[in-house]
Amino acid sequence: MRALPVRVASAAGLAAGAVLLTRPGQVAARLAPTFPQDRLWIVRLLGARLVGQHTAVLTAPRPEVLRIAAGVDLLHAASMLPLLRSPRYGRAARISGALAAGFGLGAWAAGD
C-alpha cells in the first residue's frame, strides 16, 4: 500500500464529499446546470457517502478497507452508466461516474 497517495486521495474525497453535502445547489449549478433542483437530496446523499467512506479510509487505510471502498466506488461508477445520455442527468452522471471510477481504481490498486 502507498500510504501518502492513499491519504491524499482520501482527503480530496472527504473534501469533495463535504462540499456536496453542504453546498449541493452550488455544485450542481456550476457543474451540471440541467440537474433538477428537486433532486439535490441525491447530491447530499452522495456527499454523505463520500464523507463516511473517505473518513474510514483515512482512519484505517488497510488493504481490506481499500478494497471495500474501491468496490463501493466502482459500483457507483457502474450505476451511472444508464444515465450517461440523459439530458437532465447525463453531465452529472459523467462527472460523478468518472470520479468514482478514478477513486475506485486507485483504491483497488493501492489495496493490493
Q: Consecutive 10-residue runs of the chain (112 residues): their mean pLDDT?
A: 83 96 97 96 98 96 94 97 97 97 92 74
Q: What range does the domain containing 28 cover?
A: 3-111
Q: Which three cell numbers stand for residue 6?
A: 492513499
Instruction: Output the CA angle 105-106-108, nearest 5 degrees.
Output: 65
According to the model, what pLDDT value does residue 1 have? Answer: 56
* pTM of the entire predicted model: 0.92
Contact partners, residue 96, CB within 8 Å, separation at least 6: 46, 76, 80
Q: Helix or strand or coil: residue 51?
A: helix
According to the model, what pLDDT value does residue 25 have? Answer: 97
According to the model, what pLDDT value does residue 51 have? Answer: 98
**Domain total in the chain:** 1
